Chains A and B, each alone.
Chain A
Amino acid sequence: MSRALAFLLAYLASVSWWSTATLARPQDPPAATSDAAVQPAGGARLEGDAGSAAYRRADWSTARELWLEAWPAAGSAGERARLAANLGNCAWREGRVAQAGAWYELALLQDPRLPGPRANLELVRSRLGLPPAERGDLRGAFELLLGSLRASEWRLVAVLLLCLGAALWLHASPSRRRWAAPSAILAFLACSASLLAASSRARDAEPDLGWSVLERAAELRSEPRAEAAVVADARPLERVLVLDALPGWTKVSGVDRQVGWLSDQGVFRAPR
């Protein structure tokens, strides 16, 4: 038994070393990049502070511009979540309620555990006459719990499940402890599911997502023309996947499982 544990620890150490040395980690930028986002050349911590200062002066448009300029340089998901939440507040102050909701959705995708945007999103949904995002039942609580994990945290869960499965697999005996092998298989399946969840979470953070931001139902047309047939109606704050774009029009999918075109006024896209 002691030999098995020693082997397992050696295995985990080797896997850790191997992944650190060979595989890239794009979601975790180096500290220098993060600092550059917050502290660009020309001033110390200018973007965030300047935007905040403009916001404090009730200069919503200036704050919005400053935070939008800071977006490409934001190296971490946490900083992008902060900028999205602040941009949502700007949209709220400027009266663009649905767009504020889209910013809050984006902020929660970047950091699901950021408390401010979640409450703000509920306020926006209430103002738009939409049902609350958090239903308050057991299923809703479970979904909230699963949705609060970031991609890297899902991968850590997968590592834990892999260790558990490996221990069970090594300890399995055909004559005794017959439950060990099926349990190991289940642990491996759960590990795979966690990896899928991590992949899905990482994909949600990609900027191909969009939201319908008209405060009434936006018309999804079959072609990028105002005379084209309306194939579906996109409800406010309905999440869509952006497929293509033409001047004035955005091709999206996901509205009633339809693919069509929305006018640019009706679509919010996460900045790249």
Chain B
Amino acid sequence: MQTMPGGSTQDSRDAGALGAWRLVLCALCACLASSLALAQEARVVARMSSGVVKLGSEARLVVEVRDAVNARLGELPKVEGLSIGPAGPVSVVSTSEISGGRIKRSTQSTWSIPVRAAGPGRYTIPAFEVATDAGPLATRPATFEVVKDVEGEDFGWLTIDAPREVHAGEPFTLDIVVGFDTALASTVNYANLDLPWHGAVAGMVELASADQQGRSVNQISLNGDQIIAVEDAGTRQRGGRTFQTLRWRKRYLASDAGLLELSTSHFEFGQVARTFFGPDPSQKKTMYKRLDGFAIRVLPIPEEGRPLDWSGAVGRIEARAAADRRVVDAGDSIKLTVDWSGPANLDFFEPPELARQAGFERFRVYGKTDRKTADRRTVVYDLAPVDASLAEIPPVELAYYDTLERKWSKSSTRPIPIQVRALKNAAALVVDAPLEIERERDVADILAQPRAGDEPWAPSGGSILAGMGLVLLLGGRVRRLVWREDDPWAPVSRRRRRALREFERALGRDASPLARHRALRVFLAARSDEQETAWAGRDVRAWARMRRDADGWAPSAELERSSVELLAACEAAEWSRRPAPESGALLEFARRAAAEGWR
């Protein structure tokens, strides 16, 4: 074997390639196994939870779909005498197992559909389809038998007291009484009222029930998923048996004319095992009392004779009114409380607007508050009489359809006598109030004494105008005359006035020749409104001649000579070791220059 340089590297590369191939093969095997699992045949099974059920108890149709992707339940079949559905949520369980080196996957979708029978007999639920992605699957027919619960019929009690006819809009009460033989009282710990029509009948609106205050209250189950409060209805006799009964009153309102069909109802009672977590429905021994379905006819409200102000009241209504005060001032508020009660749709009509009712023209209606209870409708109106001649609050009328008399009618409150005091005399009615006497107004008395001219003297308008003109015309000249020179507040004037004072300070600060020379130049520059450098080496005589020629002013000859001498002496002292001029001589010169008006 020939060993190649770097042979170990080549071996490692071959081993890596082999490992990658193995991974690919494993993935392919997994895909194949998965496809094999999906390729299993889909199946559907429909079966009843029990082959024989008691009438009134709930049976369940269980539909199981195996190994189907995206199974969907189609329309449920309809069987006469059976109520099927609605279907609950689907339960999906997926499992995987390795069997013989193969991965087997299984999926099961399950529906549990309630089934109720209206009467005893043998029922067959026909085949129906379940849709899947692989195509529809058909179930097999499911057969079961419903037998009458003889014991329940004997030992149970279920009656529903309901009107045969009502009018549209009229509330009515269902008086449901359930019970069981008192001999079973020690063993019964479970009661369920099964009303399949409850909340499922169109046109039947559930109303709030009156409070069961002061009555013995028990709790039973409604349709297996609600707890309702029922009152104790005492004991009743039937067939030589004594029944302990419970009553549940429920108010409804028929919204539309037609027929309200209430299907078969059952009362389930018996014993249910209780665990730590509560009742266990799977371990129960119950009986069923059945009540056949019935219908309530809803009559329409007649249009004939319908009042224009009818606001929807139906039934029989009584009205009462009360006022919070009987003696008021005109314009004061009266709270008029109107109560409507009786077997009527008290929640469903609009209370009358008093501002539009006859008799309330001389009242101001500010508003109303509306309060509804189960057996009463209370509206508080805020009224204010505006006329002192009003003697009563007129009746409040409400138009309604009387379902007992079957005719249109009106409920009226009794008029309430009131006393309205006029506002103007309201104060006088109060005994202790001081009387306000309106005094007569009159003009002030005459001025009997003659009046002298008390107008002050003042110059005429013309003289004032003339004075103003004089001020405007001559003001500038006067100002110049007073100032004698230029504006004394001008910067150049103030600098010139300041020059001597600052020169004195500068001489006192520094006695060196350099400082004295500079101070003299600064003084002369301030007086002549120039820069200090203008006086460095200046020919003073030539400058004086130029000033004389320009504006007619020049320093006097003596002052000119002094300035030439002092400037020369200062300059010489600055550049040599000669002594500088004395400060007294410099100040003397400066004072004479200021007095002479050096500028």
Contacts and interface: CB of A to CB of B under 8 A. Distances in A.
Interface of A: 3-4, 7, 11, 15-16, 18-20, 22-25, 27-29, 34, 37-38, 45, 47-49, 52, 55, 75-79, 81-82, 85-86, 88-89, 92, 100, 114-117, 119-120, 123-124, 126, 150-153, 155-156, 158-159, 162, 165-166, 169-170, 172-177, 188, 191-192, 195, 198-199
B455 A27 contact: yes
15 contacts: A7-B478, A11-B470, A16-B459, A25-B457, A27-B455, A28-B455, A79-B451, A82-B447, A89-B445, A117-B444, A119-B443, A153-B456, A155-B464, A169-B471, A198-B461
B404 interface: no
Contacts of B468: 162, 165, 188, 191-192
B450 interface: yes
Contact of A48 (B445, B448, B491): B448
Interface stretch (B8-16, B34-42, B283-291, B482-490): B482-490
B460 to A, nearest CB: 4
Contacts of B487: 173-176
| Chain B interface size range | 35 or more
Contact of A191 (B445, B447, B464): B464
Interface string B205-230: 00000000000000000000000000
B4 to A, nearest CB: 109
Given A119-B444, A158-B464, A170-B479, A34 B452 contact: yes
Contacts of B446: 52, 55, 85-86, 89
B186 to A, nearest CB: 93
B458 A169 contact: no
B441 interface: yes
B444 to A, nearest CB: 4
Q: Secondary structure of the B side of the interface?
A: loop
Nearest to B443: A120
A172 B472 CA distance: 12
B465 interface: yes
A159 B464 contact: yes
B458 A159 contact: yes
A155 B448 contact: no
Interface of B: 441-468, 470-472, 475, 478-479, 482, 487-491
A50 to B, nearest CB: 11
Given A3-B482, A7-B478, A191-B468, A100 B443 contact: yes
Contacts of A152: 455-458
A27 B455 CA distance: 8
Nearest to A81: B451
Contacts of B457: 25, 28, 152
Most chain A C-beta atoms within 10 Å of own C-beta, residue among B441, B442, B464 = B464
Given A7-B478, A78-B455, A175-B491, A23 B450 contact: no
A24 to B, nearest CB: 8
B464 A195 contact: yes
B461 A155 contact: yes
Given A4-B482, A159-B464, A166-B475, A77 B450 contact: no
Given A28-B453, A47-B450, 17 more contacts: A3-B482, A15-B459, A16-B459, A48-B449, A78-B453, A79-B453, A82-B447, A92-B443, A116-B444, A120-B444, A162-B467, A166-B475, A169-B472, A174-B487, A175-B490, A176-B487, A188-B472
